[in-house]
Amino acid sequence: MKQGFDITKILQLLPHRYPFVLIDRVLSISPGESIRALKNVTINEPFFQGHFSDRPIMPGVLILEGMVQSAALLLAGPMSKEERDRVCFTGMDGVRFRQPVVPGDQLIFEVATIKQRSRVVKMSAAAFVDSKRVAEAKIMALTGGEI
């Protein structure tokens, strides 16, 4: 298990930029095996203006995006920039939302590789707030080569 890294390294590895960077810090990573990443959820997030102004709730699709960005960071380690640019997320199964995520929460994303065969990778992903599972999914990706 390697120590994590900060937003500077995250921005080197992901193509996302404001307002779509949904990872603030990588807490720990075991290359090719697992990752723990963090997202601080604040009222300043632009999506809270419309989701919903009287009861702000983080959209589930953005929680999933945080899990996918964590998965991308897990896969990025041994890849060149050209290979990272060709990673394609191909599907999600078993998506479940268990409780709302609201301003002030700290999301912890945990992603682990289930299996990898050739260029296809299947991963389990979960999001936690205060050690409670708030969302989960299985994520599939196609790495390297032509898409």
Nearest one of 47, 50, 80, 82 to 62, comparing CA atoms: 47
Q: What is the pLDDT of residue 146?
A: 58
Q: Catalytic residue numbers?
A: 51
Between strands 106-117 and 2-5, the pairing is unpaired
Low-confidence residues of the chain: pLDDT under 50: none
Distance between CA 31 and CA 118 in Å, rounded?
17
Q: What is the pLDDT of residue 135?
A: 98
Q: Is the distance from CB of 123 to CB of 74 less than 8 angstroms?
A: yes
Q: Is the distance from CB of 110 to CB of 134 less than 8 angstroms?
A: no
Q: What is the pLDDT of residue 77?
A: 75
Distance between CA 40 and CA 137 in Å, rounded?
20
* Domains, the chain, with CATH or none: 2-142 (3.10.129.10)
Which ranges of 77-140 would DSSP assign to H, the alpha helix? 81-85
